[in-house]
Amino acid sequence: MKLKWTSYPYIVWMAIFIIIPLLLILFFSITSGDVFRLGEFQFTLDNFKRFMNPIYLKVLGRSITLALQSTAICFLLGYPMAMIISKAELKKRNAMILLFVVPMWMNFLLRTYAWLTLLGRNGLINYIIKSLGFEPLSLIYNNKAILLGMVYNFLPFMVLPIYSVLIKIDNSLIEAAEDLGASKLEVFTRIILPLSIPGIVSGFTMVFMPAVSTFVISSLLGGGKYMLIGNLVEQQFLWSGDWNFGSAISIVMMIFILISMAIMAKFDEDEKGGGLW
Amino acid sequence: MVNKQLKRLYTFLIFLFLYAPIIILMIFSFNSSKSRGVWTGFTFKWYIELFKNEEVLTALYYTLLVAVLASIISTIIGTFAAIGIHNMTSFKKKVVLNLNYLPVLNPDIVTAVSLMILFRFANIDFGFLTMLLAHITFNIPYVILSILPKLKQLNKHLAEAAMDLGATPFYALRKVIIPEIMPGIVTGALIAFTLSIDDFVISFFTTGPQVTNLSITIYSMARRGINPVINALSTLMFLSVLILLIIINKRTSKDVKHRGDII
């Protein structure tokens, strides 16, 4: 049946609201001057040159480091969790997965903000520390707090894809390995881990991408002092009004994400190619 | 077994980590003092004040209005688009699907600023309309992605049979294809609604000063201190979602049991 025409409205929509806006960002990033008045702009690479300043490179470095750290922590915390859930009995399994999804239905800004109540100077954790007779710690407005916020918000994105791959692993493979004399560790490193790579790859991308581009977590828990690349974009567009520079930063961010996704995709393919047999 | 205890403890700690802020938030919605961190006594006053607080109620109104409209419109456009894409030749299909992935893979902030530039270029006043258009744009890809697998499962001879028996293509679409892919459509609509309600970044960049949703209100409040009525509102919203979920869960498990009996 020929029903191709039903997609035409969306193709028009896509052209207007997805493709043209991205081209506009690209256009802004390589021009300067008043772009809204045609004829008063010039093509230039100054916006990208400006980004090469150590101040901005440091921001980029900090964003990538924090995103990588939070991805690693999410993986280390999430993988065992996904394994525990995948081995539980059906009813418990579904309940636990549901428990992972439910927090996402509470506004994420509010959940992140609630950490301030727990970690703040007069917060619950410091209250416990003080009542034990120790000096209160400053737990918020630093890199560690941002890291905590990232891990807290993105942990489900690591657990869910790994879990969905783990439950599909054929149990007879594991039994066969055990019958042939593999130890528990060997079963894990040579059967379970390689077979779960697709889940790990999507978990990595789903945590790394929002972590590297966030500006909300850093401005709530970092207290505005610790700027990430997302904050830089926000600042250029909403406060400084330098849309050309802001667009250039967005392009840099997109390039980094594309590179990391290409690396991830390659990893995935390699494993599919010959990892198992 | 020690191993089993260890697993239990680990699971408990992870869930404690996930739920600690939520529990704290709920507890403090009953706290009589406005400051966070200090418990001064039990009260219901924030729940009463919630219904008098115009700022929060307006934000709630816009959040729900945008979510309902955006999910309905994106479900309609997305359903038709998915059916069309499913019937495309493989090359065209690949191109359209890759473009469809763009808003899913792009960071929110890039989608947000790109739309902001577009609206500024088109000279549209920032406000309700721009926010709605932005929400529809980031919802449609998810709707399409949840319907396409259902279309793949669909037996293509069904529609052909309907048309052999005299149905017009549109009638076959309405009576045969749409009912068959309904679960995918419902999932897509639910995803769209949830994404829309929870969105902050894209709304923040594409709305004007007159129209704010809950996320934006919370973000701007975070600097001057969150009003506890927000805690009260979130507690109510969270509990209603939870209750709805339990009801759905009960009903589907009953369905499964029922079907099991018949077979």
pLDDT tens digits for range A213-258: 998 898 888 876 668 999 999 989 988 888 899 999 999 998 888 8
3-class secondary structure, B1: coil
Q: Looking at the complex, report in whole angstroms how far the Cα of residue A5 sits from the nearest Cα belonging to chain B.
A: 6
User: Which tops the pLDDT comparison, B239 or B261?
Assistant: B239
Contact call for residues A221 and A149 (beta carbons, < 8 A):
yes
Tell me the average pLDDT across B65-77.
Answer: 96
- β-partners of residue A43 are A31
Which of A21, A127, A246 is opposite residue B115, by nearest beta carbon?
Answer: A21
Which of B37, B77, B106 is opposite residue A10, by nearest beta carbon?
Answer: B77
Give chain B positions within 8 Å (CB) of A105.
194, 198, 237-238, 241-242
Tell me the average pLDDT across A174-202.
Answer: 89
Domains of chain A: 1-44 (no CATH), 60-275 (1.10.3720.10)
Residue A224 is predicted with a pLDDT of 67
DSSP string, A13-30: HHIIIIIHHHHHHHHHHT
Q: Do A116 and B238 touch (CB under 8 A)?
A: no
Residue A137 is predicted with a pLDDT of 75
Does B244 touch chain A if contact means CB atoms closer than 8 Å?
A: no
What share of chain B in percent tops pLDDT 70? 94
The model scores a pTM over 0.90 = no
d(CA B188, CA B178): 13
pLDDT digits (tens, 9 = 90+) for B104-115: 888 899 999 999
A119 pLDDT band, cuts 50/70/90, is confident
User: Which tops the pLDDT comparison, A276 or B230?
Assistant: B230
Contact call for residues A245 and A236 (beta carbons, < 8 A):
yes
Residue A259 is predicted with a pLDDT of 86
Does B107 touch chain A if contact means CB atoms closer than 8 Å?
A: yes
Buried b (16+ CB within 10 A) or exposed e, B61-80: ebbeebbeebbebbbebbbb
pLDDT digits (tens, 9 = 90+) for A254-277: 888 888 888 887 777 665 443 332
What ipTM goes with this model? 0.85
3-class secondary structure, A31: strand
B73 pLDDT band, cuts 50/70/90, is very high
d(CA B85, CA B96): 8
d(CA B183, CA A272): 31
A22 pLDDT band, cuts 50/70/90, is very high
- Which is nearest to B206 in space by CA: B215, A23, A253? B215
Residue B156 is predicted with a pLDDT of 78
Does B176 touch chain A if contact means CB atoms closer than 8 Å?
A: no
- β-partners of residue B42 are B31
Domains of chain B: 54-232 (1.10.3720.10)
